[in-house]
Homo-oligomer: A and B are copies of this chain.
């Protein structure tokens, strides 16, 4: 059995997502839920069909509210500790789908304060730079400027802190310790921070002056924060936010390596020159055999193959095409080099497009970003 660990600040090992649902006490995304969404909006995103978003809390309740004519707002975020990589973009793509199909407002939080109190070496000025750089990536996703607010904790502290202390007053150290594994050596900034991450779940209600349902699309590692948010929500007069939670995009270096900003080859960053990104894909870990001859004979292993995972998760929406590729790999018809090139083309194309939109985003900051 492989051990794994998932907290908001550490994701390690070969993650057993079924087990994580049990550990965290969330619910799996069922076929029934997927069909219900299809019935409501007509279109089901591949992330749902393929259970990339695999876990939820109260999504059924949220859909019932929607069916009764009660719209919901979206809340997601990003910790600006480095450049954006494809793993970060994954939930944003889904968030855009939700905004487009359900017509939701979106509150996008940049947790610059968290990244400062957590980091051993980043200065506030460096974090400010990443806040700006990450903002460009968020805008480049194509969110509706009429319905989207992007804000950083430090730049909106006056608006957020007043609500954060209302959360903080309801959370004991004991709870924070149990949820996050804090100990005596944890700094008091990190202990407090979860209060700031709770606030955007309440901002739609605060703005509207009435209870507004909220859905938080995010990677599963953020669940501990929102357990606290959900615990305090009703005490403060709000609905508990619903959650829909994704898997992680694996490291390009394979299952034993962690995708991280400090190891540039493990991930594709949105600011990577497309040619460099191509090289990363061509050097990625696959499920292929040592020699071409062996692979022709035995076939490859798509289940451990980074290339296949990137196609499955992000770059091949066509189910038939993907299935054919898988079968050709298993039977030894397809060689890794071809798959790599196939993905590399798609990655290059994505980055070229994204980087164009990212440039344009520089002139759109004021359409999206709010500040005290």
Contacts and interface: CB of A to CB of B under 8 A. Distances in A.
Given A124-B162, A162-B124, A165-B116, A173 B157 contact: no
A183 B168 CA distance: 15
A208 interface: no
Contacts of A161: 113, 153-154, 157, 161
A185 B173 contact: yes
A165 B117 contact: yes
Interface of A: 113, 116-117, 124, 153-158, 160-162, 164-166, 168-174, 176-177, 182-192, 194-195, 372
Q: How many copies does the complex hold?
A: 2
B158 A187 contact: no
Contact of A176 (B124, B165, B188): B188
A183 B175 CA distance: 12
A91 to B, nearest CB: 25
Nearest to A176: B188
Contact of A162 (B154, B177, B182, B184): B154
Given A171-B187, A173-B173, 6 more contacts: A157-B160, A164-B189, A165-B189, A173-B186, A173-B187, A192-B192
A37 B171 CA distance: 47
Nearest to A119: B169
A184 B188 contact: no
Contacts of A174: 184-185
B192 A168 contact: yes
6 contacts: A154-B162, A168-B187, A168-B190, A171-B189, A176-B188, A188-B191
A177 B184 contact: yes
A177 B174 CA distance: 13
A172 B186 contact: yes
A189 B187 contact: no
Contacts of A153: 161
Contacts of A177: 184
A362 B164 CA distance: 30
A344 to B, nearest CB: 41
Contacts of A165: 113, 116-117, 189
A165 to B, nearest CB: 5
A173 B182 contact: yes
Nearest to A116: B165
A44 to B, nearest CB: 40
Contact of A157 (B124, B162, B183, B192): B162
A162 B168 CA distance: 18
A172 B166 CA distance: 22
Nearest to A113: B165
B155 A168 contact: no
A116 B169 contact: yes
Contacts of A124: 162, 166
Contacts of A154: 158, 161-162
